[in-house]
A and B are shown apart, each in its own frame.
Chain A
């Protein structure tokens, strides 16, 4: 095993440090080292969005980021989306709209949708579909996911 690098970040609002090898992806470190398994591995090459996380608010595939790259950065994962003691409007609307079957894609969609609503509070259906085009869902046909995001945008406004 090669030398470990020490990395400090802010993860879901808390200061976190970890040791990793340079070749380890952020996804691997989140899941295997930090025990945050909400980000999923569906493809490990940027094709599915199941591993989505936010780095300084930017939406990225954690499988295409080296863990060493997040030194000094602020990370948000699905585990950090909900306000204390509650659910984020997106989480609530995903449940209300039955926007998940197996739920494996769900963390990635919710993280992606949060990044969208942070920038575009009232997106159109087309904007939602464009923003989520890097997230695969094999179960739902996307209909309910898109509706849930639109409803969450509405909920957040009222």
Chain B
């Protein structure tokens, strides 16, 4: 994990992020690019809301029959000449992939962008076993050079600026002419394209994720803009797809429906540049394509989410819309979460995958404003699930002592309306006395975290309940 960040140190990480102006400047762009792009794309398609309903229904149907669709998918892959491997957890997946690489005698491995390989920590595992994987998505390549993790699921290097990229290229691309101008994104892209071309052409194994697995045909589908995923899967002799079990959908029609939601929600494009269906290895007479095709199906905690209050999360298509629209993400960036998946989707998913003990703070990294749910193409009730996690956190005594005390005190009062009325009246009276002439509080006992950054307006009249009662009587 980048800089040793963990989900448990979210409050500390968030403070550090808030004191990092270049980071804040970088993520500020998201509003003009991804957020307004999504809005325009959704508005330009009258059927967008109906597609969201259809997308939700497809995934709900698939999850209810997940075992059967996975079996159907497996049959079809095998029919097409491919292999299917089942991985119960991250360690399983890593071991299976290393084994395939070793049997293929692989020394060089290229990778398409894939969050799932981040989830299982594949790069570190391969590296420890003598195989150096090269990330080929431009953003992933940049963060690999920097020894970081992605800070966003679709824009992994969104926190890096072009000066930093130029410095990284000069550091790592040792045969780069020092006089070469790397001031602009175009020259940086040209440099990366040249270096990565070599890697593509010399790779023995290509590893990609999948946006969809199609039960009807045994196809794996990747959706990209750069074309790196395609070069990763067609050039090497062996193509390995690592995909989690909930990526399966029944038919090509179902892919079409969700495809119409994916790019619009992610980047505001109507369609990503490359949507590629791969079915088995190259056929007799084919002049190119991989000679061996492996699909590794990963569970890693997902089967236990089925039938639980977190099942809806398995509809997620990793578009990133909830992240882009999250005011917390937009204030602190992705690394502060200390988890592979940031933002609202990450805060719901991470505790399911790695246990609440290791990620108890994440459910609180949200204002529950509801913007995520309102844009989620799969209509996942993210705020509701964040609340579930908060309840579990409290039940399991993972909430910090101070907060537990506050919540317990509040519960005590809330269950006793007359006492509650008295306490709030007293509080309002006290605050009004503490305020300066302008009615603003510059310091409030126990609320230093608030007043350190802004004033608190002092209550002017009675409490809400006394006002309500007064007006009701009139």
Asked if chains A and B come from one complex, the reply is: no
Interface residues in chain B, defined as those with a beta carbon under 8 Å from any beta carbon in chain A: none
